[in-house]
Amino acid sequence: MKITLKKVTIHKFKCIESDQTYDVEPDTTVLVGMNESGKTSILQALAKTNYFTKDKVFTFNTTHDYPRKEKKRMDKSGKTPKAITCRFGVSEELTNEIDSELGEGVVLPEDIVQFVSYDNKTTMIPPLVDYQAFIKGKTKELRISSNTLNEKLFKVQSVDALQKVIDGYHDENIKEKLNTLKKYFENELKWSYGHPLSEYVARVLLSPHLPKFLYYDEYYALPSRISIEDLQKEKLEAEQQKTAKALFELADINVSEVIGADDFEDFKAELEATEATITEELFNYWSTNTNLEIKFDIDKIEDTHPQHGTKIVEHILDIRVRNNRTKMSLPLRHRSKGFNWFFSFLVWFKKIQEDIESNYVLLLDEPGLNLHASAQKDLLKFIEDLSENYQIIYTTHSPFMMDPQKLNRVRTVLETDNGTKISDSLQEKDPNTLFPLQAALGYDLAQNLFISRHNLLVEGVSDLIYIQMISGLLSGNGRSGLREDIAIVPVGGLEKVSTFVSLLRGSSLNMVCLLDSSIAKGSKAQLENLVTSKIIKQSKILNFDHFVENATEADMEDMFEKDEYIQLFNSAFHEYDNISMEKLIQDIPRIVLQINKLIGVARFNHYRPARELLVSRLKLSEKTLGRFELMFKKINELM
């Protein structure tokens, strides 16, 4: 892209009642806000700045676009207000091209600023030029340089003035060379400000590279059946007309030729080539169902007029989607709205891609609104790939349509008592507007804070502390600890293990559960269902009694020798009298239950003894370390 959009100021447009300025990223900019906050208006204002094709809908109109409560005041002023101001950056490539023609440093390296008024007139602030450097360089290049000639040319401001200078010379060689400078003084735009050379730079060297704007929303979806006669007579709904026309242009099919033909084989060949191109692109990003393919067909329907008895002929383009697994095809409209949007956008966009001479900014209004979260992720990848060649600005309120790693791209849009306000996400304070960003961050944290490719699910934080501490101790002594690529995930209780496993089953994650032996009946039944449903293997559900000798039930705390755990407990709980081995009730199987019984509570805080292990210098016995090492070896093996 030789010229990129850098900054936009919308002055007054619909719900925007005061100047709103926002930066535009060189790749993708995301407008986030609640419904009716003004996101669509922002895109439409940009689209009307330089729409890619002639379209009355995308021209500024004070009746429809100027804020209503200020329109009467504007009418009485007799002035035509500015609608929008855009600032563009010039690439190094284009700068070099300009320097090559005019001379290095003749055009000062500054942004392009232009504004569009409500009469749809575009005005560019003239580029700053060093005119004298231009003259010196050109006359030297033409080998006619002299102080006298340069001084005369410094005063030239028009073609007529240049002609007078030319007429003052009799040398035909000098005249011929001076005539080559006329194009720089033509001033075709009739600028009354700036130097004619500035007008030439703007009109010839910059304007052709200014981006055109393409606006697309869900209403541009293709119908399943297109009457080619209605397409020719422009009787289709406005949005469908545009997309259907784009499809025929993409396939290089002349509508009039189809209507006049009896044999459609050539047209079908073109459509088949088009359907292959679109299908390949579509399913490169549509991972939700890869068994689908697009099918086009042209047919002729003949009927008799019910009153006049005359023959009626109608040519139809039929668009169907075939499922290669079920061997069944359905009309496009019977597929999901999300699929229809994706397909229709590709048709629309493919036509734009053919225009390799132009620079486009894509304006997408709520793209993928009807897509499932996983399909929105595919769409986000599609947009990311498109942004390598196009600037993209899109609106959304879905957390799945934002990359949590690139929230610098986000601009928030908020409706206030004084009209729509646009701001950087870091400046936004409204909780409702920020919610999608917070949700995106929360989802990203949930995916990345604890979760990795390999996950060990444990009941609580105390289990995590014990495993991390003792794994580190064993590894430091050259023994087997837990592999470093395994994340320990405390799920917050046994009753949540089955839910956690079930939710993450589609994420291609490797999971092992390490659980207390005594699981509540409900949780145990849920885990058994997961095993039966082949969501998790029975071998990947471990209980602590697997690693404690002669135990039928065991918790994490039973992995320690009893006297060691009693030391941790006594250090953590000063509010109880020191307990001892002699006081424990030996016929109760698990040490935590023995302690509960002894101190008269239903459950003590298991985290406190775990924390004590972090700060104490308790030397663990070989039996304790051996149990943990055996457990780590088994977990590593299962992963």
d(CA 591, CA 555): 8
pLDDT more than 70, % of the chain: 91
Q: What is the pLDDT of residue 362?
A: 95
Residue 507 has pLDDT above 60, yes or no: no
Phi, psi of 487 (to 5 degrees): -90, 135
d(CA 207, CA 229): 38
Closest CA to 200 of 161, 158, 163, 166: 158
Q: How far is CA 329 from CA 292, 298, 444, in A?
A: 9, 16, 38
**CATH code, residues 1-80+359-449:** 3.40.50.300
d(CA 14, CA 7): 20
Q: Are the C-beta atoms of 494 and 525 separated by less than 8 Å?
A: no
Q: What is the pLDDT of residue 440?
A: 66
Q: What is the pLDDT of residue 635?
A: 92
Residue 9's beta-bridge partner residues? Answer: 21, 85
For 340, residues 6+ apart whose C-beta sits below 8 A from its C-beta are: 221, 222, 332, 333
Q: What's the pLDDT tens digit per position in 436-490?
A: 776 666 665 555 545 577 888 888 888 888 999 999 999 989 999 999 888 888 8
The angle at the Cα of 404, spanning 383 to 501, to the nearest 5 degrees, equals: 105
Q: What is the pLDDT of residue 408?
A: 84
Residue 412's beta-bridge partner residues? Answer: 32, 423
Mean pLDDT of 204-232: 87
Q: What is the pLDDT of residue 425?
A: 67
Phi, psi of 259 (to 5 degrees): -65, -35
d(CA 156, CA 195): 10
Strand 486-490: give its sheet, edge to edge.
486-490, 454-458, 510-515, 541-543
**What are the structural domain ranges in the chain?**
1-80+359-449, 218-357, 454-638
Residue 622 has pLDDT above 90, yes or no: yes
d(CA 305, CA 627): 90
Residue 25 has pLDDT above 80, yes or no: yes
In this prediction the pTM is 0.71
DSSP state of 430: -
Q: What's the pLDDT tens digit per position in 176-199?
A: 999 999 999 999 988 888 899 999
Beta-strand relationship, 360-364 and 328-331: unpaired
pLDDT bin (cut points 50, 70, 90) of residue 427 is low
pLDDT bin (cut points 50, 70, 90) of residue 337 is confident
Residue 522, exposed/middle/buried by CB under 10 A (0-12, 13-18, 19+)? exposed
Q: Return the top range by mean pLDDT from 260-269, 303-312, 375-384.
A: 375-384
Give the 3-state secondary structure of residue 524.
Answer: helix
